[in-house]
Amino acid sequence: MKLTIKAAALGAAMSLAGAAQAQEITLKVSHFWAPNAMAPTKVIGPWCDKINKESGGKLKCQIFPAMQLGGTPAQAFDQVKDGVADIAYTLPGYTAGRFPLMEVFELPFMNENAEASSQAVWEYYLTTPAVQKEFAGVKPLMFHTHDEGYVHTRDKQIKTLADFKGLKMRAPTRQTNKLLSKLGATPVSMPLPAIPDAISKGVIDGFMLPWEVIPSVKLHEMVKFHSETDPKERALYSAIFIMAMNPAKYDSLPVDLKKVIDNNSGAALVKQTGKTWDESAAPGRKAAEDHKNTFYMIPASELAKWRTASASLYDEWVAEATAKGNDGKALLAKAQGLIKKYEK
The answer to whether residue 300 sits within a structural domain is: yes
Do 123 and 165 lie in one domain? The reply is: no
Rounded CA Rg of the chain: 23
Does 61 fall in a domain? yes
For residue 78, give the CATH number of its domain: 3.40.190.170
Task: Look at residues 229, 263, 279 and tell me which one is the last residue of a structural domain.
Answer: 279
- Give the total number of structural domains in the chain: 2
CA angle 21–26–32, rounded 5-degree value: 165
Q: Give the 3-state secondary structure of residue 49.
A: helix
Same domain, 63 and 115: yes
Domain that residue 37 falls in: 24-146+240-279
Question: Do 218 and 138 share a structural domain?
Answer: no
Q: Domain check: are 291 and 174 in the same one?
A: yes
Distance CA 183, CA 161 (A): 6
DSSP-derived 3-state class of residue 34 = coil
Do the domain assignments include residue 165?
yes
- Based on the fold, state whether residues 265 and 198 are members of the same structural domain: no
User: 291 lies in a domain?
Assistant: yes
Shared domain check, 170 and 50? no
Which of 268, 225, 275 minimizes the C-alpha distance to 115?
275
pLDDT at residue 13, rounded to an integer: 45
φ, ψ (nearest 5 deg) of residue 232: -80, -10
Residues linked to residue 28 through DSSP beta bridges, in sequence order: 62
Q: Which of 279, 303, 330 is the last residue of a domain?
A: 279
188 domain-assigned: yes
DSSP class per residue in 169-236: EEESSHHHHHHHHHHT-EEEE--GGGHHHHHHTTS-SEEEE-STTTGGGTGGGT--EEEEE-TTSPPS
Instruction: Note whether 72 and 206 are same-domain residues.
Output: no
Residue 19 placed within a domain: no
DSSP annotation string for 116-184: HHHHHHHHHHHT-HHHHHHTTTSEEEEEEE-S--EEEESSS---SGGGGTT-EEEESSHHHHHHHHHHT
Q: Where are the beta strands (DSSP E) in 46-111?
A: 59-64, 87-90
CA atoms of 152 and 183, how far apart (whole Å): 15
Same domain, 270 and 295: no
Do residues 81 and 230 both lie within one domain? Answer: no
What distance in Å separates the CA atoms of residue 83 and residue 206, rounded to the nearest whole number?
36
Same domain, 206 and 273: no
pLDDT tens digit at each of 344 positions of the chain:
444 555 444 554 444 444 444 589 999 999 999 999 999 999 999 999 999 999 999 999 999 999 999 999 999 999 999 999 999 999 999 999 999 999 999 999 999 999 999 999 999 999 999 999 999 999 999 999 999 999 999 999 999 999 999 999 998 999 999 999 999 999 999 999 999 999 999 999 999 999 999 999 999 999 999 999 999 999 999 999 999 999 999 999 999 999 999 999 999 999 999 999 999 999 999 999 999 999 999 999 999 999 999 999 999 999 999 999 999 999 999 999 999 999 98
Q: Please give the pLDDT value at position 23.
A: 81
Instruction: Say yes or no: 85 and 231 in one domain.
Output: no
- Distance separating alpha carbons of residues 206 and 198, to the nearest angstrom: 9
Q: Is residue 41 part of a domain?
A: yes
pLDDT the model gives residue 276? 98
Helix (H, G, I), strand (E, B), or coil: what is residue 89? strand
What is the reported pLDDT for 344?
Answer: 86
225: β partners: 153, 294
Q: Which residues make beta-bridge pairs with 224?
A: none
By CB atoms closer than 10 A (0-12, 13-18, 19+), residue 15 is: exposed
Mapped onto helix, strand or coil, the DSSP state of residue 103 is helix
Indicate whether 318 and 245 sit together in one domain: no
Nearest to residue 60, comparing CAs of 50, 71, 70, 74?
50
Residue 12 forms part of a structural domain: no
